[in-house]
Chains A and B, each alone.
Chain A
Amino acid sequence: MTSLIPGQASAGHYGRYGGRFVPEALTFALDELDAAFRASVEDPIFCAELDDLQRNYTGRPNPLTHAARFGAHCGGATILLKREDLNHTGSHKINNVLGQALLTKRMGKSRVIAETGAGQHGVAAATAAALLDLECTVYMGEEDTQRQALNVARMRLLGADVVPVTAGSRTLKDAINEAMRDWVASVDNTHYLLGTVTGPAPFPEIVRYFHSIIGTETKSQIEQRYGRLPDAVVACVGGGSNAMGIFSAFLEDAEVQLRGYEAGGEGVDTGRHAARFAMGVPGVLHGARTYVMQDEWGQTVSSHSISAGLDYPGVGPEHAWLHDNGRAIYESVTDAEAMDAFAKLCRTEGIIPAIETAHGLAGAMRLGNELGPEALIVVNLSGRGDKDVETAARWFAMNPDQHLPTLNEQMATER
């Protein structure tokens, strides 16, 4: 197999990361997927079909919004928001899902399964399944089904079977385990529509490929409007698919800083976080070698984040590689910092972001203050926050020091 990724050490590997650590039973399906993927991206019919869906179903290209009032909180830097929240289904997840659903049809399979944390990938998978007439089962940690109840309802309306997973920590990692178990037994007619840039090869490469449209659109939009590349590209990083999607177009542009923000939860020193780069060590999880939050015996440690979508103890292997070789810089953002950025975007731009995305926005506030008012910073606004309204209401009620200011208070501070 040949790699589509420039600079990749060997197919399926990113330096020492990535690879394929799976039961032998899945090798055939992964090889089949790899072959179908490589043939499809060279096939004009497949590409045209995907392009048509992206334009006329997802609504691409989506805008690059200049967030002037939010920029005032980012050291006066020019902040541009890549509006993946305006995609059909409300996040970047649809990009990958449509690509893989078309691959599923091409492989002659009739069913997809998916894992989901925040529910955005599950909703996107259920959507593509409805559109392309595929049966769909979504595995979701029981804890996540509770904190993202709206998305559970959406998936069910779309005809997906949502299975709450009660094993382990009852979050995203356990949902992936359960999806893998289903897949081993159903691989004849089922495609595992994995939602992020991790898992066994070729998943990280496929998912990145289908999300790379985020980066290519951004690059052409910013060059057209500003006549130059941005100083930095910012994204939140759970598994890391939205980040890989937007980073991919800028990897070769050394002058563009790539910044990923992972979930610091209640603080990396509290042990309740999902800061893989801050506290994890290289290991193997869910089929790939990458940074993993684990104890001294190699047992996975439960992660924690207010954001279900970032609450994952592993990270995409290409991010691990970019971290080690220094091309991208990863920092963590606490729940409190993310919610502060969440509130600021709501009140300055009229945009309610997903709490996952708010981690990237908090990163932009930090980075903007560091780089100053001349800086041009792109933030991948990876998803909208409708699903998080209840979590946010509870947070602001419980953290009065962080409460959303009333209009009068806000006008008073701005005067």
Chain B
Amino acid sequence: MTAIAEVFAKAKNENRAVLIGYLPAGFPDLTSSTELMRAMVESGVDIVEVGLPYSDPLMDGPVIQHAAATALAQGTTTDDVLTAVRAVADCGAPTVVMSYWNPIERYGVARFAQAMSVAGGSGVITPDLTPEEADEWIAASTAHDLDRVFLVAPSSTAARIKTVTDVTSGFVYAASVMGVTGTRSAVSGHAETLVQRVREATGAPIAVGLGVSTAHQAAEIAGYADGVIVGSAFVRAITESATPHEAIEAVSSLAGELAEGVRRRKINEDALI
């Protein structure tokens, strides 16, 4: 059983959802970003998603675009991202990298998989890699025991969900809306329907992301999904902080609230009994 599978299994036993927190490596700088990720873990994030900053993040909204641009302006490289993975994995939480495809291809697909494995990483989320183009990645990730997280979207057909989940491992990333990353006041009704449709295709855990920012939304999603992914809200908490200390406080506090949110499903059910 992989580290990610263990976390999902443990959460299932505890009758709660897994909390997955995203931050880009190198934002606001490399050292701070690893401290912030560790703070997330200490406050209840189960799996850390380390963003690899990319020059053309076409699936990201303004908040993450800005963070990635800042990280790149500071000279953040793929090797720095792997350093961040090592630092976070060392504190015990399974760590995945989220990366657009070109930086991985340029690094060398097999070389990247090996470096991830050496750094203690558990898997990689590839938002712009489709299964049809993934042969080399499937081989490399299999060789190095990395989980491969592909995305499904509300527009995915049943046949498409099957194609994607067949090559996915660790968990399935269900995009809650048709759109880019960024906080939204409500989670779209598409998310629950999508999760139900994915369940018909796979027994793998399903995590919902895009637009989730509050404990209330996390609790709602925990009612039907196995994991809740939060990204832009964490980045925004940092952007809006005046000092590094304040940023750590803000990230910790948000992680704590969300961790409570993913456990609220249990509380509700207890209340029913």
Instruction: Report A's interface with B, CB cutoff 8 A.
Output: 19-29, 167-168, 173-174, 176-177, 180-181, 184-185, 187-188, 281, 283-287, 289, 292, 294, 296-300
Chain B residues within an 8 Å CB radius of A188: 178
- B132 close to A187 (CB less than 8 A): no
Cα-based distance from A184 to B178 in the complex (angstroms): 6
Interface centre among B57, B78, B103, B152 (most CB of A within 10 A): B103
Cα-based distance from A252 to B59 in the complex (angstroms): 39
- The closest CB in chain A to the CB of B160 belongs to A27
Nearest CB on B from A280, distance (A): 12
Which 6 residue pairs of A and B lie closest in terms of their CB atoms, listed nearest first?
A298-B106, A25-B153, A298-B103, A185-B179, A28-B155, A299-B55
The one of A28, A168, A173, A292 in contact with B156, judged by C-beta atoms closer than 8 angstroms, is A28
Cα-based distance from A24 to B194 in the complex (angstroms): 13
- B180 close to A185 (CB less than 8 A): yes
Write the B29-55 contact mask toward A (1 if CB under 8 angstroms, else 0). 000000000000000000000000011
Main secondary structure of the interface of A (DSSP, over half): mixed
- A181 close to B156 (CB less than 8 A): no
What are 25 inter-chain pairs, A to B, with CB distance below 8 A?
A: A19-B132, A21-B101, A23-B127, A24-B152, A24-B156, A24-B175, A25-B154, A25-B156, A25-B178, A26-B155, A28-B155, A28-B160, A168-B69, A184-B178, A184-B180, A185-B178, A284-B105, A284-B128, A297-B77, A297-B106, A298-B102, A298-B105, A298-B106, A298-B107, A299-B54
- A24 close to B55 (CB less than 8 A): no
Chain A residues within an 8 Å CB radius of B56: 168, 173-174, 177, 285-286, 300
Main secondary structure of the interface of B (DSSP, over half): loop
Q: Does B157 contact A (CB under 8 A)?
A: yes
Chain A residues within an 8 Å CB radius of B117: none
Chain B, 120-168, CB within 8 A of any chain A CB = 127-130, 132-133, 150-157, 160, 164
The one of B107, B129, B150, B157 in contact with A21, judged by C-beta atoms closer than 8 angstroms, is B129
The one of A24, A173, A180, A297 in contact with B160, judged by C-beta atoms closer than 8 angstroms, is A24
Instruction: Report B's interface with A, CB cutoff 8 A.
Output: 54-59, 61, 65, 69, 72, 77-78, 101-107, 127-130, 132-133, 150-157, 160, 164, 175, 177-180
- B151 close to A23 (CB less than 8 A): yes
- The closest CB in chain A to the CB of B66 belongs to A167
- A283 close to B156 (CB less than 8 A): no
- B106 close to A296 (CB less than 8 A): yes
Nearest CB on A from B202, distance (A): 15
- B104 close to A298 (CB less than 8 A): yes
Chain A residues within an 8 Å CB radius of B104: 298
The one of B105, B128, B157 in contact with A23, judged by C-beta atoms closer than 8 angstroms, is B128
The one of A22, A25, A176, A285 in contact with B102, judged by C-beta atoms closer than 8 angstroms, is A285
Nearest CB on B from A140, distance (A): 16
- The closest CB in chain A to the CB of B156 belongs to A24
- The closest CB in chain A to the CB of B179 belongs to A185
Cα-based distance from A29 to B178 in the complex (angstroms): 12
- A298 close to B78 (CB less than 8 A): yes
Cα-based distance from A294 to B72 in the complex (angstroms): 13
Chain A residues within an 8 Å CB radius of B128: 21-23, 284, 287
Cα-based distance from A22 to B152 in the complex (angstroms): 12
- B180 close to A300 (CB less than 8 A): no
- The closest CB in chain B to the CB of A283 belongs to B102
Cα-based distance from A299 to B102 in the complex (angstroms): 8
- The closest CB in chain A to the CB of B57 belongs to A177
Known: A28-B160, A298-B104. 13 other contacts (CB 8 A): A21-B101, A22-B128, A23-B128, A24-B153, A25-B175, A27-B156, A27-B160, A184-B178, A187-B178, A283-B102, A297-B106, A298-B103, A300-B56
Chain A residues within an 8 Å CB radius of B55: 168, 299-300
Given the interface pairs A167-B65, A300-B55, the reply to whether A284 lies near B101 with Cβ below 8 Å is yes
- A181 close to B180 (CB less than 8 A): yes
- A23 close to B103 (CB less than 8 A): no
- B151 close to A297 (CB less than 8 A): no
Interface centre among B69, B101, B154, B178 (most CB of A within 10 A): B178
- A29 close to B155 (CB less than 8 A): yes
Chain A residues within an 8 Å CB radius of B59: 23, 181, 184
Chain A residues within an 8 Å CB radius of B58: 23, 176-177, 180-181, 286
Cα-based distance from A265 to B104 in the complex (angstroms): 29
Chain B residues within an 8 Å CB radius of A287: 128
Cα-based distance from A294 to B127 in the complex (angstroms): 20
- A299 close to B72 (CB less than 8 A): yes
The one of A22, A28, A297 in contact with B130, judged by C-beta atoms closer than 8 angstroms, is A22
The one of B102, B175, B179 in contact with A292, judged by C-beta atoms closer than 8 angstroms, is B102
Nearest CB on B from A167, distance (A): 6
Chain A residues within an 8 Å CB radius of B65: 167
Given the interface pairs A173-B56, A297-B78, the reply to whether A20 lies near B130 with Cβ below 8 Å is yes
Nearest CB on A from B36, distance (A): 22
Chain A residues within an 8 Å CB radius of B179: 25, 184-185
- The closest CB in chain A to the CB of B53 belongs to A299
- The closest CB in chain B to the CB of A186 belongs to B178
Chain B residues within an 8 Å CB radius of A289: 133
- B133 close to A25 (CB less than 8 A): no
